[in-house]
Each structure stands twice: as C-alpha cells, then as structure tokens.
Amino acid sequence: MKKILLFVPSLLLAVIGTMNAQTVIFSEDFQGTTGTGVPTGWTKSQAASNTTSGWQSGTALASTYFAIPAHTRYMAVNDDATQASSTSAAVDNGNDLLYSPSINLSTASFPVVKFDLFYFAATTPVETATVEVSTDNGATWTAVETLAGAGGWNTHATSLTSYAGNANVMVGIRYNDGADWAYGIAIDNFSVIEPLAKEVAANKVIMNKYVLAGSQPVSTVIQSFGGPVLSTVELNYSVDGGVPVTQSFSPAISFNGTYTANFTSNAALAAGWHQVKSWVSNINGTGVDANNANDTCSWGITVLTTAPTKNVLIEEFTGAWCGYCPRGGVTLSALTSADPQILGAAIHGGGTDAMATTEGTTVINSYAQGFPTGMVDRSFVSTVSAPDYAIDDASWGATATARKADVVPATVALSNVSFNATTRVVTATVTATFVGAVKAPFSLNCYLTENYVYGPLAATSDNGWNQHSYYYASSGSPFQGIGMITSPWSTSVAGLMPTMYQHHHVVDKMIGGAYGDATVIPTTLVVAGTTFSKIFTYTLPAANPGGAHRFNADNIYVIGLVEEYSATDNANRYILNATEQKLNSNPEATGVEELTATSFGSFGVYPNPASTSANIALTLFTNENVVINAYNTLGQVVYTENSGTLTSGDHIININTEGFASGIYNVSVSTSKGVVSKKVTISK
C-alpha cells in the first residue's frame, strides 16, 4: 500500500560547483523531443506486457502522488499515473530502461555523467533506480550506481572513470517499481563531461550558531569537482582574521563527493559575535586549484555568558482530509498539555481543508511533503533532507526536549494583548530582547491559534471540517473515536456523530506572514541587551461563519515569536524563542451549541461536578431517536449510547463515569433536530 503523502510544488537544484573550463563530451536537454517520444538516437525498453507506460517525454507528466515540479521538457516514468488506486490492476514498470546513443570516451581521463533528477527512492512500496553502462551496443548492462532519493529536483553526478578510453559507451537509467503501485522517476539536462583536473570547494563551516563561552569544535564541509580522486588536502580556519590553524586531511572522494573535515584544534571564543573563516589549500600535494572563487567559506557565531529560558514551538502540518492526521493532533495536545515550555500550532492545508490559510500553505509548501508531520522550531534532524524537512509525530517529543536545551540569543514577550469585541480587532505587542551580540536577519511574528474548532454539524459529507480518520473504529488504538471515517476512506459508523470532532491549536492567522516581519531588527551587528518590539493587529472574522464554529475569541491564543529570517532559504528560519498568552480571560467555549435546547425540549446534567456517575435529565417535545456521546478535551469519544426512540416527555438517563479520568468532558445529546451539549466536570 502506498504511503499517503502530500506533495507540493518545490524546486531544489543543487548546482554542482563552478564548472568553468570543463569539457562537455555529450549533452541532451530533451527539448527537441515531440509528443512523448525519446530523443533521436536514444532508446527505451520495458516489459513486453507494458504497452502504455515506460519512459516518456513531456512538460506535464505529474500525477496526484508523484507531483513532478515544472522543469521545462524532461523524461519520466510515472508509475503512480498507471494506477487509479491500490486495488487497480498494476502496470509492469519493473524494467524500464532509457539509454543514450554511443558516447566516445577514448580521449577522456575522468569522465562523469550528470543529470537533473527527481526521484523519491520510496521504501513503501520499494522502488529502485540505477545508472548503468553498456560497452557492447546495449547487449549487456552493468549497474555503476544505485540512485538515492530526494524530495525535489537535484543535480546528480556519477563517475565513469572506469570507462575512460572506451570509444563505445552507452549510459542508461533503469527504473523498477517493485511490482507495486509506486511513484516514478524524472530526469533532465543529461550530459557527460570531463571535469577540471583539480577543483575543490569549501562549502560551509559547521559550528553551533549560538554557544556558551569556551572552546568550540570547528568542522568544514568540502566538495570535489575535479576529475581525479581527492586524496589529500589542507584546510585552514581563523577566528576574526587571527592566526590560521592548518591541518591536513585525506578525504578520498571522487567528483561531486563531499567530506566533513573535523579539526583537532578547537576555537577558544570569548563572549560576543565572531566570524570563523575556513579555506582550502594544497590539493593532492600541490597548491593548484582550477577555481579559487569557491575555496573559502565563513560562519558567524554568537557566544553568550548565560542562556535564556527556551520555549519550543511545534508546528503540526495537518489536514481534515488526512486519514492519519488525528494521530498528530493527539500527539500535539499531549505534548503541550504536559509541558508549558512546548507550544503548539496546527497548520492546516492540502485537499479541501476549510482551516487552511495563505501563510500556512506557504509554510507547508516550504517544509512538508507528507501528513501528519511537523517542525520543531523549524529545526532540522539528520533523518530528513531538503525539501522534506518535516518529521513524523513520533519524533516531536524527543526533538522538543532537545531544542529546549539549545542555547539561543533572545527572549520574547507578549504585552498589551487585547480584543475589541465591537470591531473584533486583535492587538498584541511582541518584544524580543537579545542577550548576546548577533548579526543576521531576524524577524518578529505573531500567530493566532484556536481550540475547539469544528464545522456545521448538519453536514454529513466532506465539507472541509469533518476529520477523516483511519483509527475511528480501531479497537485498542490510542486514536480510536477520533475523527470520522466517511467515504472515500471507509464506511460511516451509524449512530456516531463524526462532525463532533473538534480541532485544536488551529492557526487562524500568522499576522506577520509566513516568515515574520524582518524590517524591525537590523541586519547589522546588534549588541547584547538590545530590545525590539512590534505591534501586531488583525481583524478577527465574524464568529460562526456559515455554521462553522471558528473565530471564537474565548478559544483563541496569541503566540509571539522571534526567528531567523530568510526570504528564500528554507534551512535558515530557526524559531529562536516563543511565548503564548490567551487572548482573553474568559473560559474556553468547549461545548457544541448548534441548536438551543428548546429546539427539541430541555437538557441538563447532574450532579455537576460528578464522580462515578452522572444523570441526564431530558425533556422531549416529540418522539425522538436519541444518541448520547461523551468527549474528552482531545475530542475523543469516551462514552456512547444509542437510547433508541424515546417518547415525548421526561427521561432520566444514567451515565457510568467510573472509568473517566478527572477532567472536563462534553456530553452531547443528538436527535433528528440537531445536537446540543453540556460541559461536565468529573472530579475524583
């Protein structure tokens, strides 16, 4: 079964170095193809039974689950497009080979094939792709590399040094769908080149950006763009232009290979802002480098004497249409309830979700490829890569704990938080105080989040609010009773009220935009103790629009945050600190009040608070079929009873609450005329 992912248009081209003076031996950009055919001189092969698929050319070969981003004309196998669902008949894309005409490498010394690649290398189901070479006109093929996956377009390179001097070399890409409903592969801008003899780039310095005073380790990532193997290299670093530290390394990397060099001599840093510079020298025993423009990289680091208290913001990426997403909602509520230093913001998007916002969609498109996932302070873990930075909900807790211990240079506070009930204008001042010297773009932002959000109760079909759930009727699951399982996912459960699902932490608005207001804090050096503030205002839409229960000021929270800012770099938007405050002092409106009690009679619960049992006092004007449900604050059904058809008049219905934990519950009564509920406190 294919894992359900939310693929969003994104483009990541990892440009391979500065290739000045390289020799292009062969190139094909696929722009000259017509229809779905392959370029002149190229060949494709596939299983004999597959008469409809295989490698094709085009500009729009994407599908629902294999959403290939725009990339001029390219070649692709779209296995997802060959099936309508997991139960449809499979098309055999198990041996799809696309290969070039014969390429003459007789004068080459270190030939490399490179191409733009869009490919997931999925493991559920398993799909594989290989770069292969033939020297006998396609009679036999040798796999020289198995391709790794990524979330977006990236430029890939494979060494063909083993075939240097051969005048008849064909290069192919083979795709295998694992005899399952998989995704696919796309390539563009295929070429074979002879790289420069010696070319090494210093890509980046690896150090924590914010640290406490003391000795700090220094590492540098280098990348080889030369033809021969990079066997030895000298690397250097200096702090604030001081005396260099030089060390020799033995990377043993080929073209496009990367190496992380860890210096044995640490940098001793006092409090303040420092610039650490690192550079390459003495490549393979000589000082010659074909391109000196990329030999140096630098890094700014803030050193603090003390670290402020760190709050963590978990941004959950979710959708009402997503059958797995109730799992993320439960996880987020549990983490925020257990730890006041963990804040939550559920960003809705994708599908037909009625709670999606423009800013939220921008964030999802930048960071997430699947639901339910999330970001913790928009920090990154080693198990993810661009552009799919988001992590599974099972990892949120450990990541949040680690982030709380991180050193950050700023505190953030909320003040003058107010709501004008007449104009519905929300006002809040967000203030960031830097406790250490910093030098980078930063932004301030203000989120409005809301609890107990739900749609019109009368709706029984998809309406952008009803929460799909694969777990609704899963006995023993911690997510049982959360959300609905209506079509197309499964069959509705008779007698249950799926629209009673109430969404929490819903982001109503990111007032400062997806990435905050970067005009408040200067990009020049900011000294320790400097404070910056911004007043955010937003007019809250009318409550209960179209019967949907949203924009209730009693249920809204304000989150203030300070974050690193970048207009284009997704990997440079860390949330440094955050704080949260309820918009007003009124209790949260947890109950469902779609109809007044007088619509069908009267309804009361006693005793309240209750302990081991509670009674529902019900008066009906007419005969009604009555269903009673009790929900905890997560929206889970903890009690349900179909009382059948009750006659007009008075009724007392007892609920056994011995198994209820202490807390607040919503007890609802549903009839043909609608649903009403009361808040009940269980105290033990």
pLDDT one-digit tens code per residue, 381-399:
655 555 568 999 999 999 9
Instruction: Check whether 44 has a pLDDT greater than 60.
Output: yes
Contact, 163 vs 111, CB < 8 A? Answer: yes
Q: How far is CA 249 from CA 151, 245, 253, 383, in A?
A: 32, 13, 11, 27
Contacts of residue 487, Cβ cutoff 8 Å, sequence gap at least 6: none
Length of the chain: 684
Per-residue confidence (pLDDT) for residue 93, from 0 to 100: 93
Per-residue confidence (pLDDT) for residue 7, from 0 to 100: 37
Q: What SS3 state is found at 608?
A: coil
Q: What SS3 state is found at 375?
A: strand
Contacts of residue 380, Cβ cutoff 8 Å, sequence gap at least 6: 389, 571
- The band of 145, judged by pLDDT with boundaries at 50, 70 and 90, is very high
Centre a 10 Å sphere on the Cβ of residue 261 and count the other Cβ atoms it contains.
22
Contact, 94 vs 177, CB < 8 A? Answer: yes
pLDDT one-digit tens code per residue, 158-209:
999 999 999 999 999 999 999 988 999 999 999 999 998 889 999 999 999 9
Per-residue confidence (pLDDT) for residue 110, from 0 to 100: 92
pLDDT one-digit tens code per residue, 553-565:
999 999 999 999 9
Q: Which residue has the tokens 């599974």?
A: 392
Instruction: Check whether 581 has a pLDDT greater than 50.
Output: yes
Task: Compute the distance between CA of residue 584 and CA of residue 428 in angstroms, rounded to an integer.
Answer: 12
Q: How far is CA 7 from CA 67, 156, 402, in A?
A: 6, 21, 28
Task: Compute the distance between CA of residue 372 and CA of residue 385 in angstroms, rounded to an integer.
Answer: 17
Per-residue confidence (pLDDT) for residue 595, from 0 to 100: 38
What would the mean pLDDT of 655-664 be, rounded to a whole number?
89
pLDDT one-digit tens code per residue, 280-337:
999 998 877 888 899 999 999 999 999 999 999 999 999 988 888 889 998 999 999 9
Task: Compute the distance between CA of residue 112 and CA of residue 115 in angstroms, rounded to an integer.
Answer: 10
Contact, 46 vs 97, CB < 8 A? Answer: yes
Task: Compute the distance between CA of residue 342 and CA of residue 364 in angstroms, rounded to an integer.
Answer: 20
Q: How far is CA 547 from CA 122, 366, 435, in A?
A: 42, 32, 47
In sequence order, what DSSP letters do the residues of 410-450 get, joined into one string?
EEEEEEEEEE-TTT-EEEEEEEEEESS-B-S-EEEEEEEEE
Task: Compute the distance between CA of residue 451 and CA of residue 485 in angstroms, rounded to an integer.
Answer: 22
Q: How far is CA 257 from CA 158, 204, 230, 247, 338, in A?
A: 10, 14, 9, 20, 44
DSSP 390: -
Task: Compute the distance between CA of residue 642 and CA of residue 163 in angstroms, rounded to an integer.
Answer: 75
Per-residue confidence (pLDDT) for residue 462, from 0 to 100: 67
Contact, 678 vs 647, CB < 8 A? Answer: no
Contact, 531 vs 433, CB < 8 A? Answer: yes
- The band of 465, judged by pLDDT with boundaries at 50, 70 and 90, is confident
Sorted by where each starts, the structural domains of the chain and their CATH numbers stand as 23-194 (2.60.120.200), 200-304 (2.60.40.10), 324-347+356-456+496-582 (2.60.40.10), 597-682 (2.60.40.1930)
Q: Is 354 exposed, middle or buried (0-12, 13-18, 19+ CB in 10 A)?
A: middle
Task: Compute the distance between CA of residue 436 and CA of residue 409 in angstroms, rounded to an integer.
Answer: 5
Containing 317, the helix (H) or strand (E) segment is: strand 312-318
Per-residue confidence (pLDDT) for residue 491, from 0 to 100: 36
Average pLDDT, the chain: 87
What would the mean pLDDT of 441-468 be, rounded to a whole number?
82
- The band of 461, judged by pLDDT with boundaries at 50, 70 and 90, is low
Task: Compute the distance between CA of residue 374 and CA of residue 309 in angstroms, rounded to an integer.
Answer: 23
Tokens of 454: 């739900």
Beta-bridged to residue 151, according to DSSP, are: none
